[in-house]
Amino acid sequence: MISRRLFLAGAGALAAAPAMARDDPTVVTTLGPLRGMREGGLEVFRGIRYGLAGRFQAPRPAPRSRDVVAATGFGPSAPQRGDRYKPTGEDCLFLNVWTPEARPGGRRPVMVYFHGGAYSTGSVADPLNDGRFLANNGDVVVVTVNHRLNAFGYLYLARLDPRFPDSGNAGQLDLVLALSWIRDNIAAFGGDPSRILVFGQSGGGAKIATLMGMPAAKGLFHRAITMSGQQVTASGPLNATARAKAYLEGLKVSSADELLALPAERLVEGLAATDPILSGSVYMGPVLDMKWLTRHPFWPDPDPQSNAIPMILGNTRDETRAFIDPDSEKVKTLDWSNLAERIAPELRVDIHPEWVVGQYRRRFPDWTPERVFYAATTAGRSWPGQVIEAEARAAAGAPTWVYQVDFQSPTQPRRGAPHTIDIALAFGTLDAEGSYTGTGAEARALSASMMKAFAAFARRGDPNAGGVPDWPRYRLPRRTTMVWDITSAAVSDPRRWERELFERVPYIQPGT
């Protein structure tokens, strides 16, 4: 287990400050003075430590430093499977700030981004999440946040060992602590603590949906955007305990004490354990622990705590084309005889797969098996959570806007409008590694419009602004949705047939 001593020394960017340049921006915060850098007309602070945390424990605020501390490089990413975001480390509670001017009184809206990765992977060091274009173009302060993931952030041990009552939601508590730090310090960076927007893609959006139901997060943000990321229900405590037991068995340990003694690398290896409830590797995410999360975020209705918060919910037209490879054998060998069998395990609803295929063939007789495969898996797996949340908020009269990205990738045409395509569009990072958008004039125009809408939403709680097509609220029964494309426009209920098809059966939320 990483020691308290190492945490306090700092394993990331906040080491002893090198010699200061005369024009380096410096701000005074609850951590003490921080020194950043000037980049492209912005003042940038990377690797700001916002907290400390022992393994499986709730985080605590970072101590104040008397010396000027350098905030000039990203802190470590959370430990996780794969090598994409090295270096990683348990000491990962760092955030980053891009601001047009780091001085009190700027009162710019603040856009706080939580990365995706299904609670298990991801990092704000991903170049898609670079805040410079959004901060420049939107005249906003952009903040990105790393936090604990997978077993370090969501392994629920409370029913196995009473010493760890916060373990199942530790990652969420990291985000609460980060938002508290932002509230208390963002004015020093030119931000307005009364206009804090949280936005996130995929798992990042799910983290936000969960925060909207956490009493500890009440009042810490004022608008929300979830991008292909919904969390209708949390993991129940019994299922979360069963997962914890499966995880322990996979590591061949029998107690939390043994877990505490293992190096972080072994805990990451344990994530390959088989989930006892779902197929695949063990799921870890927020837990209905009745301490920090006392009800499901959007079941049986949206938590009244957050109904006054303006919210945008979005998805892409071809979500599953991102993570089911069009060149895989599963897709390349599709035909009408095996389509239903291959669709079935990809859905998140218990629905008759042959019937689904028959419905699509009657509705779209010219579609290929591949097109039906991706349409059905997107509509049955990646879209229902957003529909449930949008419908519930509309029924409650909560201020809600909905979008759908139809813009087709010009660089990978077979991917269509896949999961994650809206990250580059919202950040303006069109040329970053992992972007599907390309850098052509159409992508640049669409990105500029999306950035304007998101910045306007942060500023006023309404995405309508100059350079953005008229975007009405999502209300029943019209279900007006902004369709982002080469030519963007608001459309009433654009996928009504598919919505109604999958509303016939209950949505099975991963993690329950």
Q: Which residues are marked as active site?
A: 202
Closest CA to 241 of 128, 164, 343: 164
Secondary structure (H, E, C), 213-268: CCHHHCCCCCEEEEECCCCCCCECHHHHHHHHHHHHHHHCCCCHHHHHHCCHHHHH
The Cα–Cα gap between 182 and 190 comes to 12
Residues 300 and 121: their CA atoms lie apart, in Å, by 29
In a 3-state reduction of DSSP, which class is residue 337?
A: coil
Three-state secondary-structure class, residue 315? strand
DSSP 378: I
DSSP-based three-state secondary structure for 181: helix
Any idea which residue has 């903040």 for tokens?
143
Nearest one of 195, 188, 190, 159 to 291, comparing CA atoms: 159
Directed axis angle between helix 170-185 and helix 203-211, to 10°?
A: 80
Q: What distance in Å separates the CA atoms of residue 379 and residue 169, rounded to the nearest whole number?
A: 29
497 backbone dihedrals φ, ψ, rounded to 5° = -60, -45
Smallest CA-to-CA distance from 26 within 13, 8, 11, 45 is with 45
* CA separation for the pair 141, 121 (Å, rounded): 25
Q: Rounded to an integer, what distance in angstroms lies between the CA atom of residue 212 and that of residue 217?
A: 7
Interatomic CA distance for residues 431 and 155, integer angstroms = 36
The H or E element containing residue 404 is strand 400-405
Backbone angles phi, psi at 217, to 5 degrees: -95, -5
